[in-house]
Amino acid sequence: MIRLRTLFAAALALPLAACVRINVEGDPKAWAEAMDPSAPLRVATYNASLYDDAGGGLVRRLEGGDAGARKIAAVLQRVRPDLVLLNEFDYDPQGRAADLFQRYYLEVAQPGGGDPLRYPYRYLAPVNTGVPSGLDLDRDGAAGGEGRARGNDAWGYGLHPGQYGMLVLSRHPIDAAQARTFQLLKWSALPGARPPRDPRTGAAWYPPATWSQLRLSSKSHWDVPVRTPQGVLHFLVSHPTPPVFDGPEDRNGARNADEIRLWREYVTPGDKPWLCDDRGRCGGLAADARFVIAGDLNNDPADGDGRHEAILELLEHPRVARMPTPRSAGAAQAAAKYAAAGLVRRGDPAHATGDFGPKAGTLRLDYVLPSVGLEVEGSGVFWPAPADPAAGIADGSDHRLVWVDLRMAPR
C-alpha cells in the first residue's frame, strides 16, 4: 500500500499535458504497434462495479489497493480486448481513477490474470448520475436532500456527480473531436417518448414543467469513433437505468426502454433534427457507418423486469448483424442452481451475463452488438464454470465481461 501511494504521488507530479496526451491523442508508438490489419478486433463490455458512494471514493480505494479492481484487471488481462467499455466506473474530471486503474492494475500482472495490459487511448466524459436537477423527481415533496433522497432527485440516480460513470479504453486511436455525447438530450425530444403515468388515475407522473426538463439518459449516450486498422468504428455506448427501484408508475421501466430506443433512432437513416448532441450537432449516424452498440442495457429479452420489446427491437434492427448469442458454461451452471431452488427462466440460461442473487437470478443484461458490415469470428462471456481455476477472478462484479471478435467486411 505504501509503495502504491508513493507511486501515485509521483504520478500527480506529471504535467497536465501528459494526461491530456494520453486521454485524447494517445501514444503514436503504441498506435503503430497496434496497427495489424490482419488481426480481428476484439470488442467488449464489462460492468466493472468500480464505484463508491462517496465522491472521490474510488480514487482513494485505487490508491490504497482494491481487491475488486485487481479481479477486474485480471479478467481484462485474460480476455485482452482491443476496445472495451467499462460501465460503473466512477467519473472524475481529472481522470485520476482511470490513470490509477491503468498504471497500477492493468499494467501490473494480476493473480489469475495474464501479462500486463496497456491501453494508450481512452475516452471519458461527464454523466448525469448524481448531478442535482433542482426538481422533485421522486415526488416526495422536496427537491434534493441527503442520501437516497438526493440521488432520487438527480438527473440520474447517484449519490455524487459521476457515480456509475463510463470509461472507454482502446488500443487504437479515438477521434475525440468527432465524438458525440447526449448527456443533455431531453426525454421529451424523443419521438413517441413514453412519459410515466399513475396507473390509478391515468394522470402523468411528472408535471408538464418537470417533464419538459427531464434528460433522457440516466448516465449518457456516447458515439466514440475509433480509428482501427480496418477503418473507423463507431463505438455506441451507454448504461440505461435499471427498470426497477420505482413504483407502479414504472418510471424507470419507461426510461430504460426509451434509453435503449435512442440507439434504434440513432442508427436508423433519415432526417432527425431533434437528435442533437451536447455540442449542438443534430442528426443520427451516417447510413454507411460501421458501429458496435455496447453496454449494460439492463434489459433481458425474456426474463426479469423491464419492457422486453425494447431490447428485442434493438436486436432485430435491420442494421444490427445477426450473430450467435455469446454464452458461457458458468452462466448455465449458475442458472441451474437457481432453477433447483424454483427460479425458472424462459431464456437460454447459458446466455446470461450476470448473477444477481436468489431473487433475480441470472439475466442477460450486457450486450456487444455489431452492425451489418462487420463479420463476427467469435464471441463469449467470461464466466468460467466453478471448477475452472479462472472462476476465482470472475466475481469481481455481479456482471461478466462480454466480448465479440470482428472484422470489417470489404465495402
The answer to whether residue 400 is domain-embedded is yes
Best CA proximity match to 209, nearest among 136, 125, 269, 158: 136
- In the chain, the number of structural domains is 1
Instruction: Find all residues with CB under 8 Å of 329, minimum gap 6, and list them.
Output: 350, 383, 384, 385, 388
What does R_g of the chain's alpha carbons equal in angstroms?
21
| Max intra-chain CA distance, the chain | 63
d(CA 368, CA 377): 13
Tens digit of pLDDT for each residue in 127-176? 999 999 999 999 988 898 888 899 999 999 999 999 999 999 999 999 99
Average pLDDT value for residue range 381-389:
96
**Alpha-carbon dihedral 242, 183, 292, 40, rounded to 10 degrees:** -110
Give every strand in the sheet of 374-381, ordered side by side.
121-123, 166-170, 83-89, 41-50, 402-408, 374-381
The answer to whether residue 87 is domain-embedded is yes
d(CA 241, CA 232): 29
What's the confidence (pLDDT) of residue 39? 85
Task: Assess contact for 207 and 222: CB atoms under 8 A.
Answer: no
What's the confidence (pLDDT) of residue 1? 38
Average pLDDT value for residue range 275-301:
98
The answer to whether residue 156 is domain-embedded is no
The answer to whether residue 319 is domain-embedded is yes
pLDDT band, very low/low/confident/very high, at 408 (cuts 50, 70, 90): confident
Tens digit of pLDDT for each residue in 212-254? 999 999 999 999 999 999 999 999 999 999 999 999 999 999 9
The answer to whether residue 366 is domain-embedded is yes
- Find the domain containing 177 and state its range: 2-127+162-408
The residues that bridge with 174 in the sheet, in sequence order, are 226
Torsion angles phi and psi, residue 295, rounded to 5: 145, 170
Q: What CATH number is given to the structural domain containing 349? A: 3.60.10.10
Q: What letter does residue 239 receive in the DSSP assignment? A: -
pLDDT band, very low/low/confident/very high, at 35 (cuts 50, 70, 90): low
The answer to whether residue 245 is domain-embedded is yes
The residues that bridge with 45 in the sheet, in sequence order, are 85, 402
The answer to whether residue 332 is domain-embedded is yes
Taking residue 326's Cβ as centre, other Cβ atoms within 10 Å add up to 25
Q: What letter does residue 241 receive in the DSSP assignment? A: P
pTM listed for this prediction: 0.91
In DSSP notation, 3-61 reads HHHHHHHHHHTS-HHHHHIIIII--HHHHHHH--TTSPEEEEEEEEEE--SSTTHHHHH
Is the pLDDT at 15 greater than 70? The verdict is no
The answer to whether residue 145 is domain-embedded is no
* Window from 19-23, 54-58, 223-227, 369-373 with minimum mean pLDDT: 19-23
Task: Assess contact for 142 and 152: CB atoms under 8 A.
Answer: no
Percent share of the chain, pLDDT over 90: 84
